[in-house]
Amino acid sequence: MTVKIVTDSGSDITQEEAKKLGITVVPVYLRFGDEVYRDGVDIDSDEFYRKLTTNPVHPSTAAPSPGDFAKVYEEAAQETGEIVSIHITSKHSAVYDAALAGKEIAERKGCRIEVVDSKGVTMWQGLVAIAAAKAAEAGYSLNQVVDRVREAIGQMRALALLDTVIYVVKGGRLGKAVSAISSIESLLHVKLLLTLRDGELRPAGLTRTRSKGIDRLREFISSALHIEDLAIVYSTTPDDAQTLADYVGSLFPNIVPRIVRLGPALGVHAGPGSLVTVLREAK
């Protein structure tokens, strides 16, 4: 039987690709005051960003419950005895812990489940899950799929550009990511670049203008040597994402970048105008 792949909506994998590859996506919860939505089920990205910029209540996100995961695992177990579940970095989310708790419930019914911390967010996590799904599709065993996942995590690199830090300030997620920067007041007048290291978002620099920030994303792309897969993630500026994709095509004609929308799981903190470039690079 084919190994089944599970992830959460923080991966930003499109519904079309998830269906094509047989990936089950467990939705993260989004709360605007008393209103609770399931990411990608009860609210789409257009409505989310409209509410984010107009609603006086800043939203928050919550992990799926262990019961949510157990239900998904039990449903998948009707078709397979082996599941690999890949999730958003545990350094910034409780999703991984909820998946582990769900595994304990489901494994009592005889299904073998491996829960993996992707060490990343958005399409970092997404590209890892896609690599796992392709390995499963090729007939790899559970242990081999997990090995492929670990390998893919080691191949990942990412650079994000935040057009504003207002939303990350509102969400209280500044933490270590900007602790080295002098003051929030100075941050409000610059664009913040973030990278991922050891599962944590860390500052990668500041620029005074958006165009200079996009130049940094181009430099990041051009620094890659052997790209296996690449995704460009945008919150509200698809034209900028397409321009970056065209740039990728000019450098790497054999690479077709994925252009995907940044969902609520990270969009709550990144805000409008954000751009993220994620690549998997052969070592």
CATH of the domain at 32: 3.40.50.10170
Same domain, 38 and 143: yes
Count: domains in the chain: 2
Mean of the pLDDT values across residues 25-51? 94
Helix (H) / strand (E) element for 280: namely strand 275-281
Number of other residues whose CB lies within 10 A of the CB of residue 180: 8
Confidence of residue 220 (pLDDT cuts 50, 70, 90): very high
Same domain, 11 and 150: yes
3-state helix, strand, coil in the chain (%, to 5): 45, 25, 30
Percent of the chain at pLDDT > 90 equals 82
Same domain, 148 and 164: no
Same domain, 209 and 273: yes
Same domain, 73 and 105: yes
The three-state secondary structure class of 277 is: strand
φ/ψ region of 33 (left if φ > 0, alpha if ψ in -120 to 50, else beta) reads left
Domain range enclosing 182: 156-281
φ/ψ region of 37 (left if φ > 0, alpha if ψ in -120 to 50, else beta) reads beta
Confidence of residue 224 (pLDDT cuts 50, 70, 90): very high
Per the CB < 8 A criterion, the answer to whether 127 and 97 are in contact is: no
pLDDT for res 109: 75
pLDDT for res 189: 73
Give the gyration radius of the chain's Cα atoms: 18
Q: For residue 70, is pLDDT > 80?
A: yes
pLDDT for res 3: 97
Q: Taking all residues of the chain, what is their mean pLDDT, rounded to a whole number?
A: 92
pTM confidence score = 0.94
- The better pLDDT of the pair 281, 169 is held by 281
- The better pLDDT of the pair 269, 188 is held by 269
Q: For residue 180, is pLDDT > 60?
A: no
* Structure-block tokens of residue 277: 């470039």
Tell me the backbone φ, ψ of residue 184, rounded to 5 degrees: -65, -35
Same domain, 113 and 192: no
The three-state secondary structure class of 86 is: strand
Same domain, 194 and 72: no
Classify residue 190 by its DSSP letter: S
Mean of the pLDDT values across residues 36-53? 94
Q: Please say which residue of 134, 154, 174 terminates a domain.
A: 154
Beta bridge pairs of residue 84? 5, 114
Measured CA to CA, the distance from residue 112 to residue 129 in angstroms comes to: 18
| DSSP character string of 201-269 | EEEEEEESSHHHHHHHHHHHHHT-SSEEEEEEEESS-HHHHHHHHHHHHHH-TT---EEEE--HHHHHH
- The better pLDDT of the pair 140, 1 is held by 140
* Structure-block tokens of residue 145: 């799929």
> Which of these, 118, 122, 216, 116, lies nearest to 161 by C-alpha position?
216
- Looking at this protein, which amino acid is placed at residue 64? P
Same domain, 99 and 162: no
Same domain, 138 and 209: no
